[in-house]
Amino acid sequence: MKSHPDHYSRFYRSDNITLDVRLIELGYPFLRPHFRGRTCLELGPATGYMTRLLVKDFGRVTAVEGSGELLAQIPDFANLEKVHALFEDFSPAVSFDTVMMNHVLEHIEKPVALLRRIRGWMAPEGVLILGVPNAQSFHRLAAVHMGLLESEYAMNERDRELGHYRVYDLERLRAEAEDAGYSIIHEGGTFLKFLSNAQIETVMDDRILEAYHRLGAGFAKHCAEVFLVLTVRQ
């Protein structure tokens, strides 16, 4: 069994996630066209790097985070409700038009059970946007060829530091979503990643990062991040 979310909160220091935050900002426009309605539930916001964007697009955002240390770092926006709770204990009184769960499912011991639970939090025409790091990303495939990973699905040091249970690809993500009772209305990927984070920070500027995000739209299977847009199957 993994430790409580507060155990991993130290990873999210600003000097650890500078590039991650920028990649979230660059990938956000690829998720935005799939938003619905005026209410959003964000599951696992960490320090709120996506929350800061969501509050501009929704009338009301509810952010649920298991780590009190991380939740405290999210600014107090007027249209934001911050909830300190584990997902197993969260029981909202209202439903949500858009549920955002990005970089969370890989942290969950029983992902299908959680996905089934989320169905009850969604409005009748609501969507769940589900994003995860991708095992089939070019940078992981290169690491296998270099002998740095046994396989693209093996845990690397960053995975272990963040408390991941697994590394997804699109096929596994689809299978778990369908098993949990969802219909897939869109799938995609963001950012073609060929280098490590440290290498990217050294040799890639924003113009290059933006170009590789746009290119990624045509190569979802091998993007650094993959995502599904889901509705509850009728």
pLDDT digits (tens, 9 = 90+) for 61-109: 999 999 999 999 999 999 999 999 999 999 999 999 999 999 999 999 9
User: What is the pLDDT of the chain when averaged over all its residues?
Assistant: 92
| Token pair recorded at residue 13 | 């220091």
Distance between CA atoms of 67 and 90, rounded to whole angstroms?
Answer: 13
H or E element at residue 3: none
Identity of the amino acid at 1? M
pTM for the whole structure: 0.92
Phi-psi group of 149: left, alpha or beta (phi > 0 → left; psi -120 to 50 → alpha; rest → beta): beta
On whether the CB atoms of residues 209 and 201 are closer than 8 A, the answer is no
pLDDT digit string (tens) for 21-31? Answer: 899 999 999 99
| pLDDT at res. 18 | 79
Q: Which residues contact 167 (CB under 8 A, 6 or more apart)?
A: 106, 133, 134, 135, 140, 152, 153, 154, 155, 159
| CATH code, 5-17+31-133+156-190+225-232 | 3.40.50.150
Structure confidence at residue 6 (pLDDT): 58
SS3 annotation, 109-127: CCHHHHHHHHHCCEEEEEE
pLDDT (tens digit, 9 = 90+) per residue, 206-233? 999 999 999 999 999 999 999 999 999 9
